A and B are shown apart, each in its own frame.
Chain A
Amino acid sequence: MERSLSEKRSAAALRRAEPVHLLTELKAILYLIPFLIPFTVFYLWPVIRGAWMSLHVWGIQGMQKYVALTNYAKILTNSDFYAYLWNSFYFVLLCAPTVIILGLLLALIINQRIWLRTLIRSVFFLPYVLSVSVVSFIWLRLLDAKNGPVNAALHMLGIHADINWLTDHRFVWWAITLATDWWSVGFVMVLFLAGLQEIPTDHYEAAKIDGANAWQRFWSVTLPGLSSVMKIQIFYQIINCLKLFGQVQIMTGGGPGDSTNTMIRYIYVTGFKKDMFGMAAAQSMVFCLIMLLIAVIQFKITDRKDG
């Protein structure tokens, strides 16, 4: 997004500098058209169409009635909406920090000269190439209350609790977080590794000469060196966690009760299970606005620090 701004500036400079050649213009646009066609039909149009649908009572059969902002009023006065919105953000609070901290930790370990470094890096990254269904199935079994190895390991450690990971509301979010962290931490690790490799080694040497210990070097050299990756990852992980659907759909079905029903699942159920497309479109719009707000806040913070 930083780039898009500088692009805007350079485009403005171009506009001043060059006369209009219609043919050049058309020729350049011609190269964009193959991308623009699917982009318009399957992205731009649905965005606009969604806004329009949200103002109607709409079913799978099509539009039934224009109701202006009634859908929005209903959403905002419905306590379910706030409960599911909170669920989505609760998952952000659990998952985003853990995956980032764990990813950073793994990157710091792999960045050292350890045995079998490439192999170990691959092991950490491997779960990322699995689909959410496979990940969910594996953890469904690992966390099984009666026959799952996780409870078996707890037994071996002397904890005879037989935790119902997926049906006890005290543990279910931790279960989903565990599965998600396992799945995606390798991705975060790879990005931090790339960031670590760009920190010049003489910064570390200078810090060493100044008498900084390992912990101080981490705070004064490593973390600032990773700040750009960190910013992108915080933003990316927040959005990613807000999009949670597959893991809960497969592992808990939104349960126990409604405790793991997220915004995306709410939209899915409203639209496809209850056949209320208009209402679901309105929910999507509200959710989009919230995500855009996060993007804007993130963008403002990043921009201020850079400038």
Chain B
Amino acid sequence: MKKLGLNAAATVLALLFVFPLIWMFLTSLKPDGVNVYTLADWVDWSDLNTGNYVKVIRDSQILLWTWNSLVIGVLTTLISILLSSLAAFSFSKLPFRTRGIFYVLIVSGLLIPTEAILIPLYETALHLELIDNIWAIILPGLTNPIGILLLKQFMDGVPKDYIEAAQIDGSRSFRLWWSICLPLTRSAMVSVGIFFFILSWNNFLWPYLAITSEENMILSAGLPTFLSNNNMSLNLIMTASAIAAIPTIVVFILLQRQIVQGVAMSGVKG
């Protein structure tokens, strides 16, 4: 009986949670001006059509923004992971005297969020002529120290014997990183990478400032332009949201195990 109550509670909560998404998709499939409001509207599926999707894709740059988000996300993630892994390797496997100083310096990067350095960051990007360029989003995206912290922990788990054996065989440190540490921390890199990708894909404030022309925008920052566009109906706004949401939802369904694991890892230890 208690079990039943728990199950019922969980199911009801889950339905409440998923309702906004279902509602978004349903509204996006209704003709312009028709709102899903009453129960009768919900059940009436006769007028569902994909017309709104055709319209939004035709009349806006949304597919281009999706592409930009994807390119920026992939580049940021790959470069970040590589840089983090190199630094983690140095901290974990190369004993050097100034290690503590560098470590504290880098970890201190967790203290002040990007939101708090917007103005000087903008000024820096302006000077480097990066404003309205996708690199203005990628480069500051590479400064997150979390990857170093996490990958270092995993590299600490790579047995010393492996390293020593390779050193005796005459391997140079670059080879130690490339052919021993990198393969052995692959699963951690995947988790950290997914986490970085989500961060990049959902990054809002900085791209919102740094990109000024429509063709360079990314999804998260481009979407609000629909609101200032007065002739956008509510259904079309929901369609735009749905288009923006579909890639992440698909990726989530495909990779949920790694995503949840990556988030648990980065959150608990970050």
Contact = CB atoms under 8 A, between A and B. Distances in A.
A114 B7 contact: yes
B143 A42 contact: yes
Interface in B243-270: 244-245, 248-249, 251-253, 256, 259-260, 263-264, 267-268, 270
Interface stretch (A24-32, A163-171, A203-211, A216-224): A24-32
Interface residues of A, number: 99
B132 to A, nearest CB: 14
A132 B226 CA distance: 14
A160 to B, nearest CB: 15
Interface stretch (B104-112, B161-169, B184-192): B104-112
A127 B17 contact: yes
A246 interface: yes
Contacts of B270: 232, 236
B115 A245 contact: yes
B99 A133 contact: no
Contacts of B123: 46, 49, 53, 277
Interface stretch (A72-80, A89-97, A116-124): A116-124
A106 to B, nearest CB: 7
A180 B20 CA distance: 13
A81 B19 CA distance: 38
Contact of B90 (A4, A31, A239, A246): A31
B57 interface: no
A28 B113 contact: no
Contacts of B117: 43, 46-47, 50, 284, 288
B238 A35 contact: no
A25 B109 contact: no
Interface in B203-262: 204-205, 208-209, 219-221, 223-224, 226-227, 234, 237-238, 240-241, 244-245, 248-249, 251-253, 256, 259-260
Contacts of A110: 10
Nearest to B267: A191
B241 A291 contact: no
A122 B148 CA distance: 28
B220 to A, nearest CB: 4
Nearest to A271: B119
Interface string A43-69: 101110110010000001000000000
Given A18-B95, A191-B264, A130 B202 contact: yes
A122 B256 contact: yes
Contacts of A277: 119, 123
B227 A250 contact: yes
Contact of A4 (B104, B124, B221, B264): B104
Nearest to A147: B35
A167 B202 CA distance: 26
Interface of A: 1, 3-4, 7-8, 10-12, 14-15, 18, 20, 24-25, 27-32, 34-36, 38-39, 41-43, 45-47, 49-50, 53, 60, 106, 109-110, 112, 114-115, 119-134, 137-142, 144, 147, 149, 152, 182, 187, 190-191, 193-195, 228-229, 232-233, 236, 239, 243, 245-246, 249-250, 264, 267-268, 271-272, 277, 280-281, 284, 287-288, 291-292, 295
6 contacts: A24-B96, A28-B94, A42-B121, A115-B7, A268-B209, A287-B116
Interface of B: 6-7, 9-11, 13-14, 17-21, 23-24, 27, 35-38, 82-84, 86-87, 89-90, 94-104, 106-107, 109-113, 115-124, 126, 128, 139-140, 142-143, 145, 148-149, 173, 177, 198, 201-202, 204-205, 208-209, 219-221, 223-224, 226-227, 234, 237-238, 240-241, 244-245, 248-249, 251-253, 256, 259-260, 263-264, 267-268, 270
